[in-house]
Structure 1
Amino acid sequence: MLEKFVNVKKEEKGPVLLSFLYFFTLMCGYAILKPLRDEMATAKGVRDVPWLFTAAFLTMLVAVPAFSALVSRWPRRRVLPFVYRFFLIHLLAFFGALRLGVDRDTVARVFFVWVSVYNLFVVSVFWTFMADLFGREQGRRLFGFIAAGGTTGMLVGPFLVKLLAEPVGATNLMLLTAVLLEGSARCVRGLSGRMAAGVSPLSSEAPVGGGVLDGVRLLFSSPLLRGLAVQMLLYAATSTFLYNQQVHIVDRVASGANARAAAFANIDFWVQVLTLVLQVGVTGRLIQRFGLGAALAVAPLLTALGFAGLAVLPGMGVLISFKALRNASHYALERPGREILFTGVDRETKYKSKGFIDTVVYRGSDSVSAWMYRGLDTLGLGTTGLALAAVPVAGLWLAVSLWLARYSREHAPAPDSEFGSAPNTVG
């Protein structure tokens, strides 16, 4: 049955399905938390958002070196479950604080920062693990389907929030995310066991080794990693501008905590519907036929067109359509394409430089972009002007993405073995 949708070999089915389940549990849990975070961002207005993004960036500056220290000394089968259970304990603490009546405004601010760190960190760890398990040729065939596991989770999560937020209470849904996080940790154990049994003989369980700051050193020594960092910076900048526009629009049309949470969940639901359709039926075939250039170019192109449309008609209908097309192309095409590029680098780069790009660079861009958005808004640029300001940023993102695709073709790594990626260095 699976072969009808995915070009998967018999020996790959088990790891691929378990990877699908792993990403499902991870993203379903996050999708439950995301509307709660977004509701908290609008509960007392939107003026605190730049400060919250800045706090998330500063937290990342501590979290990423700590993760690098762990992977330098411990095997991934121990580090990755530890990371997920570390976040699980924090989540239970937030639930307890809200249930005990701790000042909601204070909890809301800390929770916003925590989720902003959590969502990037756990997803970066997931894709690092996938790039370590599968080779480049496999990534072209399989990463679209594996990514669909996360999209399915992002589809189910908002549906659960939309269905249960008002009758059950949004806070109580945190416990469901805790259960799903434990499921993610168990999937890591299962995949590590399969690989240790010889399913992917070139995938090492040894500690990565090296120093805590080696990821930053590698980043500045590699044209590929520098390009990926700039691409992430530009993607994050457009995401922050769009997020701020979303917060303002939803704040105008919805009132009350549960109503806002339901509105954010509704947006996420329709985004994921389109993403899932593309990932299951289009991603793998498109990348194999047209290459990474096409996969990396669609999202920035749609982003430029979307901001232009939002400048003309800044309403919920255009917002949902824009977010659906942009996020679907990002999660179904661009994100798998980016992760394929990481299958050809060495393990230290995967576990250290990749994490730095996915988290610190992203949140750093978030912070700067949020303050820039606020400054332009204060100057009276207005919704139309703010949307138009993001169009040239999307154009630059497109140019960098096309350069990455060309660089990848010119510096392609050695062919993969049947399973696992051959040990390569960064070009």
Structure 2
Amino acid sequence: MSSDAKPETGARRPTSWLAGALRPWVPIMTGEGRPLIWCWLYVFCVLCSYYVIRPIRDAMGIDGGVRNLQWLFSATLVCMLLANLPFAALARRLPRTRFIAIAYRFFIVNLLVFAILLSLGSHEQSIWIGRVFFVWVSVFNLFVVSVFWELVVDTFDDEQGRRLFALMAAGATLGAIVGAAVTATLNHLFGPVGLLVLSAILLEVSVRCVRRIAPVHRRSSHFRSEFTAIGGTVLAGISRTIRSPYLASICVYILLFSMASTTLYFEQANVIHRTFASGSSRVTFFATLDFVGNLLTLLMQILVTGHIIRRFGVTLTLVLIPALSAVGFAFVALWSTFSTVVVFSLLRRAGNFAIARPTREILFTKLDREDKYKAKSFIDTVIYRAGDQIGAWTYAGFESIGMSGGGMAIVAMLLSLLWLMNSLWLGRRHESGVIPAGPMEG
């Protein structure tokens, strides 16, 4: 943990015009305004970049065959495991601003390579390029978003997180809205190749934002000034997660969330495959779905999220989305129609990004610095995709024995109830201030 002294929360004073503009929703204190603006722009560009290409990924996944999706999820988990080691090695050796720049520019190069391959490949080759792209995007999106939140939970403390994380999540949502809208409106004009290039440009802008955060951070007495390498061992993220009951419980939270999400994703893919015949119409529908879902998320983040966290605390806020999921899957079990699946998917996605994600990030604010980068990265990427993997093959297994979508929704409802109980334990432990950690490594 940082040894830098922090002023008491009560000693902070509201900052100037930004505080006045945002006071109806969240109080901004002295020294928080400029870092908050650059963090907000950073995550806006990252999510905009991702949502420009997300509908392309989803459409390519269906074009390659809905029944092949579980194999793509398996490949994603393997790639995530392989990518985690060099990721941890970079985090160990480099200051975080340098680390973020190298990681993001690696992804930028990848995007440009995919743009070239898609422009030169034949129709048959594009199927396989699409499958590889599906896996790559599934790795890319978790890493780039996880890196943002790692920076944020290392920059802001628990009290600041309760006030500011929902506002940052709103920046992410606005970026997602713009990205989805761009793809929905420009897909027919520019095609996948042009959109991939645009995604790369947005990612480069996010790198420039990180560079602006660093000097602002150093000048502010309210933030940590740790710009040295994280240190530790390459495998520390795995070993520290296993040895800490608190981190292991966060793993369970992520696994149950991801398994339920994958079940809903497959059910949604099936109904969309039956409803829309062409790949282009699917890209447009996915982009429209993303746009509507993210607009709903933004409204929730602006109007309710901060108030809920501050009024009801971490525990009650953390259990809201598991409870919604249990009720939603019960409805899907009874009425597994296109409208039911799509509406539930929209509500659950909005609830996750507006309420569950900012609250979940607060859980990491009380951990030490190495856990915030290494253990958090391992949980956000490998554990998340392990949940996808389990959910995908469980869905495929149940489907192979003739279980209907309604039957699988019942299984997902039971998982959501377990998720709810896990959320209660995590929230209570966090609010108690007693964070059980595993043995520290030398």
**Superposition TM-score, scaled by structure 2 size:** 0.91
Instruction: Kindly state the Cα deviation for residue 314 of structure 1 after the two structures are TM-superposed.
Output: 2.3
Instruction: Kindly state the Cα deviation for residue 285 of structure 1 after the two structures are TM-superposed.
Output: 1.5
Aligned pairs, how many?
A: 417
Contact 1:279–1:332 (Cα < 8 Å) also in 2: yes
How large is the RMSD of aligned CA atoms in angstroms? 1.6
In structure 1, what is the Cα distance between the partners aligned to 2:438 and 2:368? 7
2:255 to 233, 236, 240: 233
In structure 1, what is the Cα distance between the partners aligned to 2:362 and 2:76? 27
Alignment of 1:376 onto 2:401: no
In structure 2, what is the Cα distance between the partners aligned to 1:404 and 1:10? 31
Contact 2:156–2:365 (Cα < 8 Å) also in 1: yes
Letter in 1 for 2:207: A
1:224 is matched with which residue?
Answer: 246
1:61 to 61, 70, 81: 81
2:164 to 134, 139, 142: 142
1:418 is matched with which residue?
Answer: none
Instruction: Give the stretch that moved more between structures: 114-123 or 327-336.
Output: 327-336
1:114 is matched with which residue?
Answer: 136
Instruction: Kindly state the Cα deviation for residue 202 of structure 1 after the two structures are TM-superposed.
Output: 2.2
1:34 is matched with which residue?
Answer: 54
1:304 is matched with which residue?
Answer: 326
Instruction: Kindly state the Cα deviation for residue 361 of structure 1 after the two structures are TM-superposed.
Output: 0.5
1:317 is matched with which residue?
Answer: 339
Instruction: Kindly state the Cα deviation for residue 161 of structure 1 after the two structures are TM-superposed.
Output: 1.2
1:17 is matched with which residue?
Answer: 37
Instruction: Kindly state the Cα deviation for residue 66 of structure 1 after the two structures are TM-superposed.
Output: 1.1
Contact 2:294–2:350 (Cα < 8 Å) also in 1: yes
CA shift digits 1:186-239 (9 cap, x unpaired): 111111121123354523011110100011111112111011000000000001
Secondary structure of the residue aligned to 1:11 is: coil
2:190 is matched with which residue?
Answer: 168
Secondary structure of the residue aligned to 2:66 is: coil
2:421 to 393, 399, 409: 399
Q: 1:205 to 1:425 in 2, by over 3 A?
A: farther
Alignment of 1:204 onto 2:229: no
Letter in 1 for 2:208: R
Give the 5 Å matches for 1:406-417: 406-411=428-433
Contact 2:246–2:437 (Cα < 8 Å) also in 1: no
What is the identity percentage for the equivalent residue pairs of Structure 1 and Structure 2?
41
1:361 is matched with which residue?
Answer: 383
Instruction: Kindly state the Cα deviation for residue 313 of structure 1 after the two structures are TM-superposed.
Output: 2.4
CA shift digits 1:286-344 (9 cap, x unpaired): 11110011221111111111111122222332223212221111111111111111111
1:101 is matched with which residue?
Answer: 121
Instruction: Give the stretch that moved more between structures: 271-280 or 306-315.
Output: 306-315
**Superposition TM-score, scaled by structure 1 size:** 0.95
2:69 is matched with which residue?
Answer: 49
1:72 is matched with which residue?
Answer: 92
Alignment of 1:125 onto 2:137: no
Letter in 2 for 1:301: A
Alignment of 1:88 onto 2:75: no
Q: 1:361 to 1:209 in 2, by over 3 A?
A: same
Contact 1:170–1:258 (Cα < 8 Å) also in 2: no
CA shift digits 1:108-165 (9 cap, x unpaired): 1110000000011111111011001101100000000001011011111111111111
In structure 2, what is the Cα distance between the partners aligned to 1:145 and 1:267? 23
Q: 1:238 to 1:203 in 2, by over 3 A?
A: farther
Instruction: Kindly state the Cα deviation for residue 5 of structure 1 after the two structures are TM-superposed.
Output: 2.5
Instruction: Kindly state the Cα deviation for residue 45 of structure 1 after the two structures are TM-superposed.
Output: 2.1
In structure 2, what is the Cα distance between the partners aligned to 1:315 and 1:170? 30
In structure 1, what is the Cα distance between the partners aligned to 2:339 and 2:403? 22
Unaligned runs of 5+ in 1: 414-423
CA shift digits 1:253-289 (9 cap, x unpaired): 1111110101111221111111111111211121111
2:361 is matched with which residue?
Answer: 339
In structure 1, what is the Cα distance between the partners aligned to 2:437 and 2:105? 32
2:297 is matched with which residue?
Answer: 275
Instruction: Kindly state the Cα deviation for residue 425 of structure 1 after the two structures are TM-superposed.
Output: 6.8
Alignment of 1:178 onto 2:171: no
In structure 2, what is the Cα distance between the partners aligned to 1:218 and 1:205? 22
In structure 1, what is the Cα distance between the partners aligned to 2:319 and 2:189? 42
Contact 1:346–1:425 (Cα < 8 Å) also in 2: no
Contact 1:64–1:360 (Cα < 8 Å) also in 2: yes
In structure 2, what is the Cα distance between the partners aligned to 1:274 and 1:64? 33
Unaligned runs of 5+ in 2: 1-20
1:416 is matched with which residue?
Answer: none
